[in-house]
Structure 1
Amino acid sequence: MSYADKVFIETCKDILENGVWDTDYDVRPRWEDGTPAHTIKKFGVVNRYDLSKEFPIITIRKSAFKGAIDEILWIWQKKSNRVAELGSHVWDSWTDESGTIGKAYGYQLGVKHQYKEGMFDQVDRVLYDLKHNPSSRRMLTNIFNHQDLHEMMLYPCAYSMTFNVSGNRLNGILNQRSQDMLTANNWNTCQYAVLLCMFAQVSGLEPGELVHVIADAHIYDRHVPMVEELIKREPYEAPEFAMDKSITDFYQFTVDSFSLKDYKYHPFKERIPVAV
């Protein structure tokens, strides 16, 4: 089976069997009908994926591979907060009257900061260090900027990446404060695996390990039956991931630079409600 399926199934089983419900609290998220969206959760989930072995995409239902890449390019390459520049509609519920998500995600990565070597935004700083100082233990990004939180339509969920070179392998740690397991877990895993592959390739390195740290890994109450059905399925083998090996400039990647060969997955036709 796909290793990502194994991780997803085991994590969801652990949450359902050993998690804690927040039904005693007045929670912020709401369903479309205004009902409070409660969750069952586990604290401090850590998942590890060795990208040199296989690409971490689930097969028990289709993961929107191209959509995930489109969003990661929107955030990390375009450094955009303008929803019209995104191909999908995943951010529609958090769009303000100006058509942006406020000073969130890509906006934060595009802000330039003063370093001793000059002015860089966070993405270009990592690319600079990977080229000039790959042994650095200071290669990280953080978009949870407290002074701008009041101008964000949604506080960042996946908020920090730490990069580390070991030998010729580029490893990364994705820190996430909150994770909706059904709608977003494998979406985030896929897109940050692709990001790590992009950074590795343009830096002359091989992709290594992606470590996904989730502070609050949860399943929403209305998602529980769907998750219970999903984790009973027999997974397929992982597909083969490919990327355009001719690209050496991070800003030249497009959604079409990536593909999956022999991606088999189970059908999943239910509409997944999203809590806002």
Structure 2
Amino acid sequence: MKKHPEYAYLDLMKHLLDHGIQKGDRTGTGTLSTFGYQMRFNLQEGFPLLTTKRVPMKLIASELLWFLKGDTKLRYLLENNNHIWDEWGFKKWVESPDYDGVDMTDFGRRSLVDEAFNEEYQLELKHYQELVLTDDAFSDTYGDLGNVYGKQWRFWEGADGEVYDQIQYIIDEIKRNPDSRRLLCNAWNISELHTQALPPCHYSFQFYVVDGKLSCLFNMRSNDVFLGLPFNIASYALLTHLIAHECGLEVGELVYSGADVHLYSNHVEQARKQLTREPRAFPTIRLNQEKTSIFDFELDDIELIGYDPHPGIKAPVAV
């Protein structure tokens, strides 16, 4: 019997538990890490949204649409009830001279171990979210994450002073010359890293066309396997579907290439729990065929069909 495609991911998690090297990290949490790992998913076999725990597709889709808009401000995400970037914007605010509330030093870790502090943190975070949504000046200052993915994908500023739309270039080039080996987008703009709330983890991706099918390889310098990687896999699968749709192609393979691939030490028990579960059939994705440009897509134009996962497993985010 053919092995379920989700085992590509589950086998990586097991590898980290069995063979990962204990390593320190920027957040002070500690990880089990390996260097250099690749996975492949045949997108003809279903949409690779994990089934051994529920993964919120609407968050993945709204984040990708945010990237494709070239947006870098949290307001669009908050309007779509997407909070996956909140902590990085919140950190920018509470570490600024303009913040005069309760001390939020190391709020990610402290909120997990101190119930009284967590109540204060949640109140401050809610206040921050409300300010981003309602106060334009505050949103421009503390709701902007800097020149993150959307800026680099759609508005890369070259040394020549020109602004380049890397996504539009890829689409145009696929239509013009599908055999091109230059169907590549790079988010790692070293001159702008200092402006970013979080430097790109998935820093580049490349497309490949053969037999009328579009495949994608994406590269990650650093990868939180339990929380982040399920989002990354589904996001690049969706991006491949969207670009294939605009270019009149079928989907092919999704290839993941990770450098520092790690499991945070406070995700170990959650990972063990997930590994006890049997994968279920992958869902499929349906796109609004009336939309011809990926830049016109909204959440309602993307439909997930047949998703029947195991329950979600909560784990803390390392900020």
Same fold (TM over 0.5): yes
Q: What is aligned with 1:28? A: 26
The 1-side partners of 2:207 and 2:86 are apart by 31
Q: What is aligned with 2:267? A: 223
SS in 2 for 1:171: strand
SS in 2 for 1:141: strand
SS in 2 for 1:94: helix
The 2-side partners of 1:147 and 1:120 are apart by 15
The 2-side partners of 1:85 and 1:4 are apart by 33
Segments of structure 2 that go 5 or more residues without pairing to the other structure are: 94-140
- Structure 1 vs Structure 2 CA RMSD: 1.8
Q: What is aligned with 2:85? A: 91
Q: What is aligned with 1:273? A: 316
Number of equivalent positions: 262
The 2-side partners of 1:4 and 1:70 are apart by 25
TM-score by length of 1: 0.90
Q: How does 1:78-227 map to 2 (within 5 A)?
A: 78-86=69-77, 87=80, 88-95=82-89, 96-97=92-93, 98=141, 99-111=143-155, 120-227=164-271
From the superposition, tell whether residues 152 and 66 of structure 1 become closer, same or farther in structure 2 (CA, over 3 Å): same
- Is 1:259 paired with 2:303? yes
Larger CA Rg, structure 1 vs 2:
2
Please report how far the alpha carbon of residue 108 of structure 1 lies from its aligned counterpart in structure 2 after TM superposition: 1.3
The 2-side partners of 1:105 and 1:185 are apart by 16
TM-score by length of 2: 0.78
- Is 1:47 paired with 2:48? no
Please report how far the alpha carbon of residue 247 of structure 1 lies from its aligned counterpart in structure 2 after TM superposition: 2.2
Q: Which amino acid aligns with 2:300?
A: D
Residue of structure 1 aligned with 2:285, choices 241, 246, 250? 241
The 2-side partners of 1:135 and 1:113 are apart by 27
More helix by share: 2
Any conservation in 2 of the 1:59–1:264 contact (CA below 8 Å)? yes
Q: Which amino acid aligns with 2:243?
A: F
Any conservation in 2 of the 1:2–1:237 contact (CA below 8 Å)? no
Segments of structure 1 that go 5 or more residues without pairing to the other structure are: 30-35
Q: What is aligned with 1:33? A: none
Please report how far the alpha carbon of residue 248 of structure 1 lies from its aligned counterpart in structure 2 after TM superposition: 1.6
SS in 2 for 1:74: helix
Q: Which amino acid aligns with 1:274?
A: V
Q: What is aligned with 2:9? A: 8
Identical aligned pairs, as a percentage?
A: 32
Please report how far the alpha carbon of residue 2 of structure 1 lies from its aligned counterpart in structure 2 after TM superposition: 8.7
Divergent runs of 4+, >6 A: none
Q: Which amino acid aligns with 2:76?
A: E
Deviations 1:153-196, CA, capped at 9 Å, x for gaps = 11100110101111211111111111111111111101110100
